[in-house]
Amino acid sequence: MGFDRFGLKSFVSETKVEDFVTYLQQGKIMTTRCKRCSAITFPPRIDCISCESSEMEWVEIKEAGKLVTFTTLMYGPAGFENQIPYTLGVVQFSQGIKMLGQIDKKIPVEEIRVGMEMKVVPIGLFQNRFTYQFEKA
């Protein structure tokens, strides 16, 4: 089992960054930083986007970020029919990293605002699958 344990529904099973899911299972949100030029991205990647070095290291995203934008879906694609309505958002962290994910359903939609402080939290799903969601910081 590899990367196909990521998310409610997965489409990709093979990647050199499948450790991302193992870290999720350990309760950590990790991404990669280049050992040579220090470029950091999310999603993680094994080949540096800036200098093309393949010497990367995993670093943890610990601090809270700010919600940049969000939308609530009233119709879902295949595999998400039972999830609706759900809210997706983009959260900006330091060093220019942004992540897309679902916003905690416990937060009433009318309370969600662009600019609100959010943290990213790993969560376990059914059948040994893992994902993350955004919660109030």
Partner 1 sequence: MERDVAIVGVGQSPFMRKCGISIGELCFLAFKEAKEDINLKNEQIDASIICSATEYDKQRSPAGVVTEYLNLNHRPTFCVESLCSSSSSGLRAAYSLIKSGLHNVVAVIGFQKMSELTSSEAAERMGRSGDVMWESSFGLTMPAVFGMLARAHSATYGTTEEQMAKVRVKNSTYGALNNKAAFRNKVTLEEVMNSRVVVSPLKVLDCCANADGAVVLILASRDIAKRITSKPIWIHGLGASSSPATLARRETYSSIVCTREAAKIAYGMAGIGPEDIDVAEVHDCFTIAEIINYEDLGFAKPGEGVKLLEDRETYLGGKIPVNIDGGLLCKGHPIGATGAGQIRTIVRQLRGECDEMQVKGARIGLVHNMGGPAIYCFVTILGRD
The neighbouring-strand residues paired with 58 are 32
Identify which of residues 10 and 95 has a Cβ nearer to partner 1 in the complex.
10
Is residue 62 at the binding interface for partner 1, with CB under 8 A as the rule? no
Is residue 1 at the binding interface for partner 1, with CB under 8 A as the rule? no
Q: Is the dihedral of CA 25, 4, 125, 105 positive or negative?
A: positive
In the chain, the amino acid numbered 11 is F
Identify which of residues 37 and 80 has a Cβ nearer to partner 1 in the complex.
80
Contacts 24+ apart (CB under 8 A), 104-108: 104/133, 104/134, 104/135, 104/136, 106/135, 107/135, 107/136
Is residue 95 at the binding interface for partner 1, with CB under 8 A as the rule? no
Is residue 108 at the binding interface for partner 1, with CB under 8 A as the rule? no
Tokens of 31: 């991404």
Identify which of residues 51 and 79 has a Cβ nearer to partner 1 in the complex.
79
Is residue 65 at the binding interface for partner 1, with CB under 8 A as the rule? no
Is residue 134 at the binding interface for partner 1, with CB under 8 A as the rule? no
Is residue 23 at the binding interface for partner 1, with CB under 8 A as the rule? no
Is residue 42 at the binding interface for partner 1, with CB under 8 A as the rule? yes
Identify which of residues 16 and 35 has a Cβ nearer to partner 1 in the complex.
16
Residues 6+ apart with CB under 8 A from 98: 42, 65, 68, 90, 91, 92
- Greatest alpha-carbon span in the chain: 45
Site residues, partner 1 (CB under 8 A): 3, 6-12, 15, 41-43, 68-81, 83, 86, 88-90, 98-102, 109, 114-115, 131
